[in-house]
Chains A and B, each alone.
Chain A
Amino acid sequence: MSLLHLAIISPLLLALLVPIFYRYFRQIHTGWFLLPLPILLFIYFLQFISHTKNGEVITETAPWIPSFGVDFAVRIDGLGLLFALLITGIGSLVVLYSVYYLSKEHEKLNTFYIYLLLFMTAMLGVVLSDNLIVLYAFWELTSFSSFLLIGYWYHRERSRYGAQKSMIITVLGGLSMLGGILLLHIMTGTFNISEIILQSGDIVNHVLFIPAMLCFLLGAFTKSAQFPFHIWLPDAMEAPTPVSAYLHSATMVKAGIYLVARMTPVFAHDGIWIWLVAGFGIVTLFWGSFSAVKQTDLKGILAFSTVSQLGMIMSLLGIGAAALHYPQLDDSFYTVATTAAVFHLVNHATFKGSLFMVAGIIDHETGTRDIRRLGGLMNFMPITFTLAIIGTFSMAGIPPFNGFLSKEMFFTGMVRVLEMDIFNLETWGFLFPVIAWIASVFTFIYSMVLLFKTFTGKHQPDKLPKTPHEAPIGLLISPIILASLVIVFGFFPNILSHNIISPAMESILPGLLVEGQAFDVHIYFWHGFTVELFMTIGVIALGTLLYFTYPKWSRVYGIFTERFSLNRAYDSLIENSQTGSYNFTKTYMNGSIRTYLVYIFSFFVFILSVSLVAKNAFVYDTSNVSQIRIYEIIIVLIMAIASVTILFAKSRLTAIILLGAVGYSVALFFVVFRAPDLALTQLVIETVSVALFLLCFYHLPKKRHEERMSFKLTNLLISIAVGAVFTLIALSAHSSKFFEPISQYYVENTYEKAAGKNMVNVILVDFRGFDTLFEICVLGIAALGIYAMIKLRMTRGKEG
Chain B
Amino acid sequence: MLETVVQFALLCIAIAMLGLIYRLVKGPTVPDRVVALDALGINLIAVIALVSIILKTNAFLEIILLIGILAFIGTVAFSKYLEKGVIIERERNS
Contacts and interface: CB of A to CB of B under 8 A. Distances in A.
A683 B66 contact: yes
Given A630-B7, A634-B14, A683-B70, A661 B47 contact: no
A799 to B, nearest CB: 25
A764 interface: no
A654 B26 CA distance: 9
Contact of B73 (A634, A635, A645, A687): A687
Contact of B33 (A654, A667, A691): A654
Nearest to A682: B63
B17 A679 contact: no
A657 B48 CA distance: 21
- Which of the listed residues A630, A658, A676 has the most CB atoms from chain B within 10 Å of its own CB? A676
Interface in A636-686: 637-638, 641-642, 645, 653-654, 657-658, 660-661, 664, 667-668, 671-672, 674, 676, 679-680, 683-684
Interface in B1-41: 7, 10-11, 14, 17-18, 21, 24-25, 30, 33-34, 37, 40-41
Given A657-B24, A676-B62, A690 B85 contact: no
A642 B85 contact: no
B64 to A, nearest CB: 10
**A interface secondary structure, majority:** helix
B14 A631 contact: yes
Contacts of B70: 683-684, 687
B21 A642 contact: yes
Contacts of B44: 664, 667-668
A526 interface: no
A684 B34 CA distance: 18
A122 to B, nearest CB: 72
B51 A671 contact: yes
Nearest to A653: B30
Interface in B51-70: 51, 55, 57, 59-60, 62-63, 66-67, 70
Given A657-B37, A667-B44, A687-B70, 18 more contacts: A630-B7, A631-B10, A631-B47, A631-B51, A634-B11, A634-B14, A653-B33, A654-B25, A664-B40, A671-B47, A671-B51, A671-B60, A674-B59, A679-B63, A683-B70, A684-B70, A691-B87, A694-B78
Interface of B: 7, 10-11, 14, 17-18, 21, 24-25, 30, 33-34, 37, 40-41, 44, 47-48, 51, 55, 57, 59-60, 62-63, 66-67, 70, 73-74, 77-78, 81, 85-87
27 contacts: A630-B10, A630-B11, A631-B11, A634-B11, A635-B14, A641-B25, A642-B25, A657-B33, A668-B44, A671-B48, A671-B51, A672-B51, A674-B57, A676-B59, A679-B48, A680-B62, A680-B63, A680-B66, A683-B70, A684-B66, A687-B73, A687-B74, A690-B74, A691-B77, A694-B87, A695-B87, A698-B85
Interface of A: 630-631, 634-635, 637-638, 641-642, 645, 653-654, 657-658, 660-661, 664, 667-668, 671-672, 674, 676, 679-680, 683-684, 687, 690-691, 694-695, 698
A-B pairs with the 7 shortest C-beta distances? A634-B14, A676-B59, A645-B25, A687-B70, A671-B48, A679-B63, A631-B10
